[in-house]
Structure 1
Amino acid sequence: MIDRRRLLEGLGAAALTTAALVALASPESLGAERFSFIGRAEAQTVDMTQLMAPGALPDNVLGKADAPVTIVEYASLTCGHCAHFHETTFPVLKEKYIDTGKVKFILREFPLDIVAKAAFMLARCAGDGKYYPMTDTLFETQKNWAFTNNPAQALLAIAKQSGMTEQQFNTCLNDQKLAGDIDATAQRGAKDFGIDSTPTFFINGKKVSGALSPEELDKELAPLLAQ
């Protein structure tokens, strides 16, 4: 089991090898919702300037830059509640709000275990315009790779389907800077914004924890879009 201290230290900001994934990941170690971060803040809203300030990694933005509502989601790719949101509510969010220019959406990395960290690294390495297609695929197929005895092999198969070679896959998981930047993104979320579970959303700065249903999403957005 990956303990909280090792997670907070970013596994020493070490790069991830396929051997490390096999050794450290198991179905028993991937109960994502169990993990938490030290240094929780209690604020229920955050300053938008602080929230949108550049971090260790550039944000991948969906939607119009001048959309009236900004949603920032902190998620883990091995989190079942995150997968449920992206399978059931996110399509509604995209069609009804993002594609119509009402919402700008940003997914930020908050991996709760080493396998989620590796998956996020692959999404970052996928290439221009492929981050969200890759994370969509990873959420949709979560049960096929996140909870297996050999997550490295399962992730390699997904990477190949996206056009990545095995050499590129290994190079990506051995990128120490990327590994450290993902750690820094998660640590900033915990320290500055009080993230201690996934998914956690900030809707124009308002903190909303837990997977939102389409109805709950509508309820949160209605007053903001009526202004």
Structure 2
Amino acid sequence: MRHLMLLAALPLALTACNDSKTPATDAGAPLPAGIAAPAGQNWAEVVTATPEGGFKMGNPDAKVKLVEFASLTCPHCREFHEAAAATIKDKYVASGNVSYEYRNFVLNGPDFAATILARCQGAGAFFGLLDAFYADQVGWTESFGKISKTDQEALGKMPEDQAVRRMAELGGLADYVKLRGIPRAKFDQCLADPAQAKAVNDLRNQAVNEYKLTGTPSFIINGTVQEGVFTWPDLEAKLQTALR
């Protein structure tokens, strides 16, 4: 993680994000008949942590299994989330025909800290925090670009867990997440937990080494990486094809 930590105070333009400027496609075909959720539930309320390290929403036996690898600090990931999250949840996941799993692909130090804080709260809170981090992305990332050179040098000399926690403090994340239900004691606990850090690093290694992903957001449908698919219109067309 040390190479990610060194990015903590750099501008967050994030050239590792994919270029999302691709043309829209028509995906207006009707969905197959829905599959009933357990009594008293909506499939979008069925959220679990997966053995692969992500958080999954929806019918575990859905015909189409969608996985997104994304970063909390990637502007294109934010744009995708703004365009797609509600429709994925309310139309596709709610039908029972599609499950949606989010796996973090961290790109830098602020992303690493925010990802741990979101994941550490468990499956029930994860997607709500995901929505907040994307909605407020421009605001909460801004302070990290103002970390002084002196503080950056000090971070580089600390043990990794201490450096992550201190960087998050300098970037204002403690105050940000406190307003979203994460008290300071939980903030400290999560960022000091080596199991949380390992899980995030393992997901990054999975993205790079197993799936050969080079940017975010990236998508996998039923185990197949969707090459050249970065926008919601393009992805929705792929989902419609998989549902036929």
User: Per the shorter chain, which TM-score range?
Assistant: 0.7 to 0.9
Aligned equivalents of 2:134, 2:10: Cα separation in 1: 16
Aligned to 2:140: 145
In the TM superposition, what whole-angstrom CA distance separates every residue of 1:178-212 from its partner, at most 9, and x where no partner exists? 11221111112100111110000001223225532
Q: TM-score, normalised by structure 1?
A: 0.75
Aligned-residue RMSD, C-alpha: 2.4
**Structure showing greater Rg:** 2
Aligned equivalents of 2:75, 2:81: Cα separation in 1: 10
Using CA pairs below 8 Å that are at least 6 residues apart, which structure has the higher relative contact order? 1
Q: TM-score, normalised by structure 2?
A: 0.70
Query: What secondary structure sits across from 2:172 in the alignment?
Result: helix
Does residue 211 of the first structure (1) align with residue 208 of the second (2)? Answer: no
- Give the C-alpha shift of residue 221 in structure 1: 1.4
In the TM superposition, what whole-angstrom CA distance separates every residue of 1:63-118 from its partner, at most 9, and x where no partner exists? 11111101111111000000001111121111110111121011111100011011
Identity %: 30
Query: What secondary structure sits across from 1:178 in the alignment?
Result: helix
In the TM superposition, what whole-angstrom CA distance separates every residue of 1:131-171 from its partner, at most 9, and x where no partner exists? 11011110111001123236645322331122111121122
Does residue 111 of the first structure (1) align with residue 102 of the second (2)? Answer: no
In the TM superposition, what whole-angstrom CA distance separates every residue of 1:19-58 from its partner, at most 9, and x where no partner exists? xx7x852242x2323389xxxxxxxxxxxxxxxx934x3x
The correspondence of residues 1-227 of structure 1 with structure 2, limited to 5 A, is: 10-11=1-2, 25-28=8-11, 30-34=12-16, 54-55=51-52, 57=53, 59-148=54-143, 149=146, 152=169, 153-208=171-226, 209-213=228-232, 215-226=233-244
| CA contact 1:144–1:154 (8 Å) conserved in 2 | no
Q: Which amino acid aligns with 1:141?
A: D
Gaps in structure 1 of 5+ consecutive residues: 1-9, 14-20, 37-52
Aligned equivalents of 2:134, 2:230: Cα separation in 1: 13
- Give the C-alpha shift of residue 217 in structure 1: 2.9
Aligned equivalents of 2:135, 2:106: Cα separation in 1: 17
| CA contact 1:84–1:211 (8 Å) conserved in 2 | no
| CA contact 2:17–2:75 (8 Å) conserved in 1 | no
Q: Which amino acid aligns with 2:141?
A: A
Aligned equivalents of 1:136, 1:186: Cα separation in 2: 21
| CA contact 1:71–1:203 (8 Å) conserved in 2 | yes
Q: 1:128 to 1:72 in 2, by over 3 A?
A: closer
Q: Which amino acid aligns with 1:218?
A: E
Q: 1:222 to 1:35 in 2, by over 3 A?
A: closer
Gaps in structure 2 of 5+ consecutive residues: 19-49, 148-167
Aligned equivalents of 1:127, 1:54: Cα separation in 2: 14
